Amino acid sequence: MRIIYMTSSSSLSGGTRQAMYSARGLMDRGHEVTFLVPHNAEITGLDERIDWRRLPENPSAWRAEAERALPDKGQPCIVHAFHNKANKKLAWWGLAWRRRACVCLGYRGVIYRPSNPLPYWSPGIDCFVANSQACARVLRRTGLAPGRLEVIYNGIPVERITPGKDRHTMRTELGLEKGIPVLGTVAGDKPVKGVEYLLRGFAEALQKGLKAQLVLVGARPESWGPLVRELGIADKTMLRGRVENVADHLQVMDAFFLPSLKESLPNVVLEAFFFGLPVVASNVGGLPELVHDNGLLIPPKDSDAIAAAMLKVCHDPDLRKIWGRVSQGKSVEFTMAAKVQRTSDVYNALLKRRGLNAEV
């Protein structure tokens, strides 16, 4: 079957990567996938097998390019849009494309309320996919009917959880002390990721007798180095900046922290599951769907709670092992095979609902 994906994001965002992973999984099942991306998209070099097609720089010309990707009239196809502008476009194009047997879907992976609800009300889109129950609740409050809403959790491809270096090499590279717990995170520099509270909590925990080391992937030294030095924790803190192979660092961690102020379903927590890591995360968005019997939920913006959680996980290695085993068990829910199967199930249900004789 012809499946068309379209994103309006030019960056290597988590949502764009997830769309690429799904496209690749559907191709492996024998489907013909075309992926429409902005003219300046960064993602096209990550998989040369995909039929990438760059959209014109002028968004008003996108529809003509998209229609060139459609199959002949009467042949069923799936069109799935990712990111806000693509959702808006498809909401109106889909009105005309229903006559062409196109099943149209949108995607939402953030938990703030849409400023413009009209695309979510348009009958041009058969269904919206959310990546968490928290995100789905927000969409329901916009007036989106339950029958037009599905939740498909993110999936993690094997390469994202395959280290490029062995554990001993990474420990040596990071200068980690033997026998000292390693606490870690994967976060960017944006304030919403809560890095400031993590650093302050770590400093507080050290003052209370914590013996641990902190590794921050994604947080750049030029952004957070001044605060690290101000707090006096430079000798225990490693700021690694952006790295492509996060698995190299996850394999040396003993516990994973995500102090974000807002999240839907972060891929980094799912990746931590595959390494059997206990998780301490802010009680926001979709994180309670991931963290319950495998770690701790703490209030956002609360460095005291972070310090207490660090002391707890470091002083109780048996509890760390229990939580880690639960995280490892959860990982089977978030493989790419599981996500592709769930995606196929949703596509097939929509095709059947429209009375189209086709199957994904």
Average pLDDT of span 161-185: 96
What is the rounded CA–CA span in Å between residue 209 and residue 212? 9
pLDDT value at residue 198: 98
Q: For residues 43 and 66, is the Cβ–Cβ distance under 8 A?
A: no
pLDDT value at residue 132: 97
Average pLDDT of span 137-165: 95
Pick from 185, 323, 330: nearest CA to 258: 185
| pLDDT band, residue 343 (cuts 50/70/90) | very high
Q: For residues 36 and 66, is the Cβ–Cβ distance under 8 A?
A: yes
pLDDT value at residue 357: 87
Read off the pLDDT of residues 44-84 as tens digits, 9 standing for 90 and up.
999 999 999 999 999 999 999 999 999 998 899 999 999 99
Rg (CA), the chain: 22
Residue 120 pLDDT more than 90? yes
Average pLDDT of span 120-132: 96
What is the rounded CA–CA span in Å between residue 318 and residue 339? 32
Pairing assessment for the beta strands 77-82 and 51-54 based on DSSP bridges: unpaired
Residues forming a β-bridge with 2: 32, 77
Q: Which domains occur in the chain, in start order? A: 2-155+335-353 (3.40.50.2000), 158-333 (3.40.50.2000)
Percent of the chain with pLDDT over 90: 93
Helices (H), the chain: 14-28, 62-69, 84-97, 118-121, 133-141, 167-174, 195-207, 221-231, 247-250, 267-274, 303-315, 317-330, 336-353
Q: For residues 248 and 186, is the Cβ–Cβ distance under 8 A?
A: no
pLDDT value at residue 193: 96
What is the rounded CA–CA span in Å between residue 328 and residue 325? 5
Average pLDDT of span 127-146: 95
Name the token pair of 329.
Answer: 């068990």
